[in-house]
Amino acid sequence: MQAPALKAIFDLVRDVPDFPRPGIMFKDITPMLADAAAFGACIDALCAPWHGLGIGAVCGIESRGFIFGAAMARALKAGFVPLRKAGKLPPPIVGVDYGLEYGHDRLEIGTEALSPGERVIVVDDVLATGGTLEAGRRLVERLGAEVVGASVVIELTGLHGRARWSGPAPLHALIGC
């Protein structure tokens, strides 16, 4: 994607200081989502690295990853699998606990959501400290699926979350800030 299109997307992301806790700079994507052209350009850019790679499923991380993941799944002609917070999926499930920038959480997936060997990408809106994205990768691998890579809209580069992304699969970020 060309720089002006990325700038148009980034200009529609609003900074909200001290949310959800003091010291956190929240990246509000809702103005970008409300702009049809910017949202479409964002989905096109998120999908670009994955065309032609036989992606069988896009795993979107709760909750804003659902927005991007579902749209990407449609564009890539793949299934969509939600990676949910604890207690939101019916059994049987598997889960992993992980650390956040401001606490701890748990991510879960249905045990029959992916097939062994299925080619999968993991998607979220923001890469901060990397715990959530890495938890998503671990969940997918637990079911025997192949993590082809990950995509995020925004990478908070100062938090070095990319360092937690393990393995050879690429991690693509549209915007670094």
> Which residues participate in catalysis according to the annotation?
64, 101
Q: DSSP letter at 161?
A: G
Give residue 96's identity as a one-letter amino acid code: V
Sort strands 57-61 and 79-85 into parallel, antiparallel or unpaired: parallel
**Which uninterrupted H or E stretch holds 5?**
helix 3-11
Instruction: Tally helices (H) and strands (E) across the chain.
Output: 5, 9
- State the Cα–Cα distance between residues 108 and 135, nearest whole angstrom: 9
Phi, psi dihedral angles at 60 (to 5 degrees): -100, 135
Nearest to 69 by CA among 153, 160, 154: 153
